[in-house]
Amino acid sequence: MVIHILDIEKCRGCGKCIENCGMELWELIDWEDGTKKARAVEEAAEICNGCKCCQDACPEDAIEIRVE
Ligand code: SF4
Ligand code: SF4
């Protein structure tokens, strides 16, 4: 199982995680302050391959991929 941890404070909604995930496991959602934030899709924990491309691609260091 892979846990997708996102630091909401750091995320700027740039979409680089989405661009760099070959499995399309990230999406952008509207946040309460009018900005966009990343979110792992519902099935991400089950099907993510743990490659950490999203973590490496995030310019804000907002993603932590934990493989358990
Ligand atoms: S790459 Fe990082 S800052 Fe950009 S949307 Fe994804 S989590 Fe947020
Ligand atoms: S670890 Fe790899 S497969 Fe999993 S969400 Fe990130 S980029 Fe996608």
CATH number of the domain that residue 45 is part of? 3.30.70.20
Ligand 2 neighbourhood includes 38 CB (under 6 angstroms)? no
Q: In this structure, which ligand is nearest to the CA of 7?
A: 1
For 27-68, how does the pLDDT look when each residue is reduced to its tens digit (9 = 90+)?
999 999 999 999 999 999 999 999 999 999 999 999 999 999
DSSP output for 44-64: HHHH-----HHHHH-TT--EE
* Count of structural domains, the chain: 1
Q: What gap in Å lies between CA 43 and CA 32, rounded to an integer?
A: 24
Task: Give 8 Cα–ligand 1 centroid separation in angstroms.
Answer: 9
57: domain range? 2-67
Task: Give 26 Cα–ligand 2 centroid separation in angstroms.
Answer: 8
Q: What gap in Å lies between CA 19 and CA 44, rounded to an integer?
A: 15
pLDDT band at 15 (very low <50, low <70, confident <90, very high): very high
